[in-house]
Chains A and B, each alone.
Chain A
């Protein structure tokens, strides 16, 4: 009898980090570098890979005495990710009674990590009696935790509140306190799906818009807006409505061609300063899909957009902003070029630096 492994849908589950308790802490930490917590499942795969390599190295015959570990991480890895790998590797080597030292005169154990399109290949190389001994293992990249990502210091308060391997099209925050949560519109397996997640990150409801014969689209534009008990979804050439109470009753209609060019698309996103009530607008560059975006917050009406700008670098292209619900905050959706995941950030202006 066959026992089958994970399916696609099981492997790529979303990870929700939304928490009202965590948000104030993050606000205090604004200005410092932002590091994503590692995922437990991914660390297990990393640890197993380190164990396999350490076992193979420990089994090399003639390997005696102290060794100096020289670590050569993949050139693309950020420092935090590299250090995390090195620590786990070092721990595993030491568990197998390898005598690691910093002594410059000791024999060298080189360990290399290289990313290929699907794997991280770990290679250990050392020299014994004039001959190179090489041990190589590989681990699927998809099983590993996404790398920690350095982000430039910001003068905006911001926190990542949700991430997903699926393309996030839009999001809005609803309710407050325990009743509150996040509504997310995403493109999953060529279907447009609306999710309602609670403040603890659990998906409470999922509504597919495909039963109304929505065609798959390469156009990433989409907007979702709450209108009382109804949620309206604007897509290129289409307008849809549904309600969380009766999710089976999704209604869509085709917009007239004349209307599609203009649009109902959101205009400039404005934030109100909590200090003096002045308006600031969000400006993003016309990004290509493989560049990091810098979000610029400039005084509304400023003659030169670079004057008095507040800049915040995102880990990839910004695909949308939504500031319609709250004058003091906005949501920014960006793709993380390191992990490929789509991330939702909540941003807010703060007084001073």
Chain B
């Protein structure tokens, strides 16, 4: 890259301004304080075995679980797998047989030692049937039914945490925090019609093998209204808060520091099997051609989303740009004109059920209905009613949100197909991106899934939060975050770790 005089001047000026603003010397990290976090999901589970692939609540649960549990390996931002509970790993030429050496002297939060049997039990329950996990000398062996060169990607993401299940059902972790308090959402005592949000509090694990985290406590409140979360961030009641995509612009205008991940959630339409077979292909094609994804992303979501043409995002597959979803209303109308009488979408409306929670998804459903109407298709939005399954019986078309959980594109697509299309396994070679592309293209050409938009994850970060270094795929890495001592919400924070308090051990995380 050539530097012009102008760019050098600009860089110089920017640097001077930055230095003037930021002060002379880097401040040392500080220990202590409570990090207050607000998440959008209303419920969570710290038991990875309960997480439904792709669900929004699983995404929040994974964020919380990463405070309590560790993985065998992690992925850094530079495509390098880093040792965590495994210090070394090897595999054979077929990539079916893997061996992992476990780190020695690692303790759970109750002080007991991590053993290979713990890792075997945890991974056998999360990896599933295609894998046989056994204890080996100083570690574990994983034997896969098929060649699995992407095993490290799988182990570094999703629900593949290492934990120990106690007889009472409690799960223990080796992570930087443990749970001290967990309160489920419940009706408010003062106003029974209002819901008091779920709350969970974590305490620093003094004996964490990876080093004590900087903050003493992390307190998380879940499921408050999006606008309330934004307000709490502004008035200092939260240090980090998830921000709904439609509020990001407002946050920016009000000067909030906002972080975003790579696109993490796909919003899409799914046709179920209730449509009459002879016309279903034409209905799907006509709706696909009628969708105006650009307007959804740029107007409805104020440029805080991307139009989606694929099932996997570009950052995960590397080939998503090959797919296109050109809007063609003229062709959609021609297809509609050829519908046989009586099919859904013609004389009777096609029911669109919004399966994702929140007003934003309802608005998107209404936008789909408007697009459909422009092609003379009748689409009626049906919202699921709590405690009533009438919307479920509406059938036909669903609007859903899918959260990407895995760092392996093959594993992600396989979960997607299993969960949404009732298929078993993806055929072909997991390692070959060309085959993966062909499989995804086939799925898209069926038009059973119509991608709409991709949403990044947004979070507002207060200025008192330092060393924020979240990964592009949404791992917040909160153990490395530290807080200003001057902040009124935090206790006085020393610059060295507090002395180990052996009595401050907790039985661990309660699922």
Residues of A at under 8 Å CB distance from B?
2-9, 12, 33, 56, 78-80, 112, 114-121, 123, 125, 134-138, 140-142, 150, 152-153, 165, 189-190, 215-221, 236-237, 257, 260-261, 265, 268, 283-290, 294, 296, 305-306, 309, 311, 313, 318, 339-341
Closest A residue to B96 using CB positions: A2
Which 7 interchain pairs have the tightest Cβ spacing?
A121-B318, A340-B78, A141-B79, A4-B90, A150-B1, A294-B15, A260-B496
Nearest-CB distance from B79 to chain A (Å)? 3
- Chain A residues contacting B18 (CB-CB under 8 Å) are 285, 294
Q: Is the CB of B434 within 8 A of A4?
A: no
Q: Is the CB of B23 within 8 A of A119?
A: no
Instruction: Pick from B24, B80, B89, B434: contact of A134, CB below 8 A.
Output: B434
Q: Is the CB of A215 within 8 A of B211?
A: yes
Majority-rule SS of A interface residues: loop
- Chain A residues contacting B497 (CB-CB under 8 Å) are 217, 219, 236-237
- Chain B residues contacting A265 (CB-CB under 8 Å) are 28
Instruction: Pick from A80, A142, A318: contact of B81, CB below 8 A.
Output: A142
Taken together as a complex, chains A and B put the C-alpha atoms of A78 and B3 apart, in Å, by 12
Contact with A along B1-44 (1 / 0, CB 8 A): 11100001001100110111011111111000000000000000
Nearest-CB distance from A109 to chain B (Å)? 14
Q: Is the CB of A218 within 8 A of B437?
A: no
Q: Is the CB of B469 within 8 A of A288?
A: yes
Taken together as a complex, chains A and B put the C-alpha atoms of A305 and B21 apart, in Å, by 12
Q: Is the CB of B27 within 8 A of A216?
A: no
26 residue pairs A–B, Cβ–Cβ below 8 Å:
A2-B97, A5-B90, A7-B89, A8-B88, A33-B1, A117-B153, A121-B317, A121-B318, A136-B319, A141-B79, A142-B79, A165-B80, A190-B211, A216-B209, A217-B497, A218-B213, A219-B497, A220-B29, A260-B496, A283-B19, A285-B15, A287-B22, A305-B20, A309-B16, A339-B78, A340-B76
Instruction: Choose the segment among B233-241, B284-292, B472-480 that binds chain A (4+ C-beta atoms closer than 8 Å).
Output: B472-480
Q: Is B378 an interface residue (CB 8 A)?
A: no
Contact with A along B204-219 (1 / 0, CB 8 A): 0000111111100000
Nearest-CB distance from A133 to chain B (Å)? 11
Q: Is the CB of A340 within 8 A of B318?
A: no
Nearest-CB distance from A196 to chain B (Å)? 24
Taken together as a complex, chains A and B put the C-alpha atoms of A3 and B8 apart, in Å, by 53
- Chain B residues contacting A33 (CB-CB under 8 Å) are 1-3
Nearest-CB distance from A336 to chain B (Å)? 9
Closest B residue to A237 using CB positions: B496
Taken together as a complex, chains A and B put the C-alpha atoms of A125 and B209 apart, in Å, by 48
Extra inter-chain contacts (11) besides given A285-B26, A290-B469, CB under 8 Å? A7-B88, A8-B83, A8-B87, A33-B2, A115-B79, A116-B315, A136-B318, A141-B78, A142-B80, A217-B497, A288-B469
Instruction: Pick from A4, A112, A236, A261: contact of B92, CB below 8 A.
Output: A4
Q: Is the CB of A78 within 8 A of B1?
A: yes
Taken together as a complex, chains A and B put the C-alpha atoms of A6 and B468 apart, in Å, by 33
Nearest-CB distance from A37 to chain B (Å)? 17
Taken together as a complex, chains A and B put the C-alpha atoms of A123 and B322 apart, in Å, by 9
Nearest-CB distance from B248 to chain A (Å)? 19
Q: Is the CB of A7 within 8 A of B473?
A: no
Nearest-CB distance from A139 to chain B (Å)? 10
Taken together as a complex, chains A and B put the C-alpha atoms of A6 and B80 apart, in Å, by 14
- Chain B residues contacting A140 (CB-CB under 8 Å) are 79
Taken together as a complex, chains A and B put the C-alpha atoms of A219 and B495 apart, in Å, by 9
Q: Is B316 an interface residue (CB 8 A)?
A: yes
Q: Is B343 an interface residue (CB 8 A)?
A: no
**Known: A4-B91, A123-B322. Is A217-B211 also a contact (CB below 8 A)?**
yes
Taken together as a complex, chains A and B put the C-alpha atoms of A141 and B80 apart, in Å, by 8
Most chain A CB within 10 A, of B75, B214, B495, is at B495
Q: Is the CB of B434 within 8 A of A294?
A: no
Closest A residue to B27 using CB positions: A286
- Chain B residues contacting A141 (CB-CB under 8 Å) are 78-79
Q: Is the CB of B3 within 8 A of A153?
A: yes
Nearest-CB distance from B482 to chain A (Å)? 9
Q: Is the CB of B433 within 8 A of A138?
A: yes
Taken together as a complex, chains A and B put the C-alpha atoms of A220 and B466 apart, in Å, by 13
Q: Is the CB of A117 within 8 A of B19?
A: no
- Chain A residues contacting B495 (CB-CB under 8 Å) are 236, 260-261
Taken together as a complex, chains A and B put the C-alpha atoms of A147 and B416 apart, in Å, by 34
Closest A residue to B98 using CB positions: A4
Q: Is the CB of A261 within 8 A of B494?
A: yes
Q: Is the CB of B211 within 8 A of A137?
A: no
- Chain A residues contacting B319 (CB-CB under 8 Å) are 112, 114, 121, 123, 136
Q: Is the CB of A289 within 8 A of B472?
A: no
Instruction: Pick from B76, B92, B213, B433: contact of A137, CB below 8 A.
Output: B433
Closest A residue to B312 using CB positions: A116
Q: Is the CB of A189 within 8 A of B87?
A: yes
Instruction: Pick from A12, A116, A152: contact of B409, CB below 8 A.
Output: A116
- Chain A residues contacting B467 (CB-CB under 8 Å) are 288-289
Q: Is B66 an interface residue (CB 8 A)?
A: no
Q: Is B77 an interface residue (CB 8 A)?
A: yes
- Chain A residues contacting B25 (CB-CB under 8 Å) are 268, 283-284, 286
- Chain B residues contacting A112 (CB-CB under 8 Å) are 319, 321
Nearest-CB distance from A351 to chain B (Å)? 20
Taken together as a complex, chains A and B put the C-alpha atoms of A153 and B317 apart, in Å, by 36
Taken together as a complex, chains A and B put the C-alpha atoms of A265 and B25 apart, in Å, by 13
Nearest-CB distance from B314 to chain A (Å)? 6
Q: Is the CB of B16 within 8 A of A2?
A: no
Q: Is B167 an interface residue (CB 8 A)?
A: no
**Known: A218-B211, A237-B496. Is A117-B407 also a contact (CB below 8 A)?**
yes
